[in-house]
């Protein structure tokens, strides 16, 4: 199974400041078709998860452009350029390159 | 608007069975794979099961933790997916989410159904 490791566990951020979350996979996420199936999800308190980013850097419909994804191979990053109050929650990376689908442990973004 | 609504959750004793339903609307249900995930109280997300569209064979994938106990099926005529859960264990206690698969990711999630396995 591919192990996904996220850091940090928690990220206290001042409103308007940037935040960055790292996700590392135990093996390359490059699929045999050439694509890398790494996505990022946001889970606000009391809510179901919501897709933010897919295939490393593609923003899903309706996702603000302050969210961006980058990376390649085994190292990936989610960045929030200017944190807003509505961004509070837990962020997960997920790989869909191979079954079983696996998640990082989550990073809690909170306001300082 | 894409909507996924889970139902059928509740309290069940260990060893018993439960069936969750996922009723979908807002898209052509039969054209898309579906996946179930779960989240134990206060924990992270865990993938449970995946079913392809009939066009792609309708085949399934299961997490090792549920293989042989859980069965996913779909009724495309009703836009409903089912998760039959047998031989339930206390560690199956979680909120179960039904999701539409958008190609390489779950693009839409339901609100979830709570399953509590306890004596």
pLDDT digits (tens, 9 = 90+) for A66-88: 999 999 999 999 999 999 999 99
Asked if the Cβ–Cβ distance from B104 to A102 is below 8 Å, we say no
Taking 90 as the threshold, does the pLDDT of residue B23 lie above it? yes
Residue B119 pLDDT class (50, 70, 90 cuts): very high
Asked if the Cβ–Cβ distance from A92 to B44 is below 8 Å, we say yes
Coil, strand or helix at B91: helix
The pLDDT of residue B107: 94
The pLDDT of residue B41: 97
| A60-70 confidence digits (pLDDT tens) | 999 999 999 99
The chain-wide mean pLDDT, for chain B, equals 97
Coil, strand or helix at A67: strand
Q: Could you tell me which of B5, B23, B8, B116 has the C-alpha nearest to residue B76? A: B23
The pLDDT of residue B83: 98
- Cβ neighbours of B107 in A, within 8 Å: 51, 54, 60
What average pLDDT does range B44-58 have in this prediction?
A: 97
The pLDDT of residue B38: 98
The pLDDT of residue B104: 87
Taking 90 as the threshold, does the pLDDT of residue B74 lie above it? yes
Q: Could you tell me which of A71, A65, A70, A69 has the C-alpha nearest to residue A84? A: A65
| B81-114 confidence digits (pLDDT tens) | 999 999 999 999 999 999 999 988 999 999 999 9
Q: Which of B63, B102, B105 sits opposite A100 (nearest CB)?
A: B63
The pLDDT of residue A42: 98
Asked if the Cβ–Cβ distance from A102 to B47 is below 8 Å, we say yes
The chain-wide mean pLDDT, for chain A, equals 97
Read off the DSSP letter of residue A13.
E
Read off the DSSP letter of residue B57.
T
Rounded to an integer, what distance in angstroms lies between the CA atom of residue B119 and that of residue B117? 7
Asked if the Cβ–Cβ distance from B111 to A48 is below 8 Å, we say yes
The pLDDT of residue B103: 85
| A15-70 confidence digits (pLDDT tens) | 999 999 999 999 999 999 999 999 999 999 999 999 999 999 999 999 999 999 99
Q: Which residues of chain B from 80 to 109 reach within 8 Å of chain A, CB to CB? A: 97, 102-109
């Amino acid at each position: 199974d591919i192990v996904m490791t996220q850091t940090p566990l928690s990220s206290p951020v001042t409103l308007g400041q940037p935040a960055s979350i790292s996700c590392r996979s135990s093996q390359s996420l490059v699929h045999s078709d050439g694509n890398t199936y790494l996505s990022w999800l946001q889970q606000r308190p009391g809510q179901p998860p919501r897709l933010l980013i897919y295939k490393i850097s593609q923003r899903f419909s309706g996702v603000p452009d302050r969210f961006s994804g980058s990376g390649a191979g085994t190292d990936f990053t989610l960045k929030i350029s200017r944190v807003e109050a509505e961004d509070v929650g837990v962020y997960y990376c997920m790989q869909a390159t191979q079954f079983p689908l696996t998640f990082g442990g989550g990073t809690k973004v909170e306001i300082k | 608007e894409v909507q996924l609504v889970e139902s059928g959750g509740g309290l069940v004793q260990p060893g018993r069975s439960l069936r969750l339903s996922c009723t979908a609307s807002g898209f052509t249900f039969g054209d898309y794979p579906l996946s179930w995930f779960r989240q134990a109280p206060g924990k992270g997300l865990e993938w449970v099961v995946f079913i392809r569209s009939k066009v792609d064979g309708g085949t399934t994938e299961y997490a090792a933790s549920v293989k042989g106990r859980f069965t996913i099926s779909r009724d495309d005529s009703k836009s409903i997916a089912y998760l039959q859960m047998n031989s339930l264990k206390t560690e199956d206690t979680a909120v179960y989410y039904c999701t539409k698969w958008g190609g390489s990711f779950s693009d839409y999630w339901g609100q979830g159904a709570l399953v509590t396995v306890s004596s």
